């Protein structure tokens, strides 16, 4: 076997090795890619349930995903004492941040970003809208006004929301004072929708921070200039 034949054999072996490596890579990565595509298009079932019984109010959120293998329920209201302490600390911190920094004008946010975010949110699949209100008051005028108002709200909901299931009902009572309500909002966004929404929210958030920083720097420069003019004024002691 001469030198050229050996080189040709080595080249053929290299091509075979590269082919095996490429085939192994495809076999290994294809299931992962298909799994990612499958998960991105899977829906997360977000169920918000609110109940009112006179003075008792409760709001719960249930998240179901991947054939209900992931099933979590969180009570948003009433909050526990520990969560109340955390929210109070967070409120104080936000107050301190607000006092230490300048306020910003929300009108300066680009409207196009809000419109795009609204369109994305509007595309989220609504599986069920359930609202059952039963209330009463001895004041006939007030009861009638609430009845008309609730029906107007129900009309707008049925016109603007596209849901697979929709149940809207209101029952007034003119002989006793009470309120009883149960509402269910079942959303089914995909992982892809949630990622896009989070990206949009972060984009708007960083634009707000950027605008606040620019405005704060401008106001600081203006304050420094005004201080300089005051010092250079001969009438100031």
**109 and 177 belong to one structural domain:** yes
**110 and 34 belong to one structural domain:** no
Say if 75 falls within a structural domain: no
Helix (H, G, I), strand (E, B) or coil at 34: helix
Give the angle 4-19-21 at the CA atoms, nearest 5°. 120
The CA distance from 157 to 143, in Å, is 21
**Residue-range definition of the domain harbouring residue 130:** 45-54+99-231
What's the pLDDT band for 156 if we cut at 50, 70, 90? very high
**Quick one: which of 208, 206, 226, 205 has its CA closest to 216?**
208
**Quick one: which of 18, 197, 30 has its CA closest to 118?**
197
The count of other CB atoms within 10 Å of the CB of residue 10 is: 10
Helix (H, G, I), strand (E, B) or coil at 156: helix
**Quick one: which of 196, 226, 192 has its CA closest to 44?**
192
User: Residue 174 carries which DSSP code?
Assistant: S
In this predicted model, what pLDDT tens digit does every residue of 48-103 receive, in sequence order? Answer: 999 999 889 999 999 988 777 788 899 988 876 665 556 556 555 555 555 444 44
**108 and 223 belong to one structural domain:** yes
In total, the chain counts a number of residues equal to 237
Q: 79-83, 85-89, 123-127, 165-169: which has the minimum mean pLDDT?
A: 85-89
Q: Count of domains in the chain? A: 2
């Amino acid at each position: 076997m001469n030198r050229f034949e050996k080189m040709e054999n080595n080249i053929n072996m290299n091509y075979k090795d590269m082919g095996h490596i490429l085939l192994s890579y495809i076999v290994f990565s294809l299931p992962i890619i298909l799994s990612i595509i499958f998960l991105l298009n899977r829906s997360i079932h977000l169920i918000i349930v609110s109940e009112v019984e006179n003075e008792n109010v409760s709001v719960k959120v249930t998240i179901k995903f991947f054939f209900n293998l992931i099933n979590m329920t969180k009570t948003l209201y009433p909050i526990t004492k520990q969560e109340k302490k955390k929210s109070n600390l967070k409120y104080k911190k936000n107050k301190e941040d607000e006092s230490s920094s300048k306020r910003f004008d929300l009108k300066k946010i680009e409207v196009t970003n809000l419109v795009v975010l609204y369109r994305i949110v509007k595309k989220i699949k609504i599986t069920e809208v359930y609202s059952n209100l039963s209330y009463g008051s001895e004041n006939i005028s007030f009861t009638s006004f609430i009845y008309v108002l609730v029906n107007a709200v129900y009309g707008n909901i049925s016109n603007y929301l596209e849901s697979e299931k929709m149940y809207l009902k209101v029952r007034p009572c003119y002989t006793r004072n009470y309120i009883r309500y149960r509402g269910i909002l079942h959303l089914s966004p995909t992982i892809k929708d949630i990622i896009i929404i989070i990206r949009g929210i972060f984009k708007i958030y960083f634009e707000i921070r950027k605008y606040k920083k620019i405005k704060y720097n401008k106001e600081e420069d203006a304050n420094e200039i005004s201080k300089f003019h005051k010092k250079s004024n001969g009438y100031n002691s």
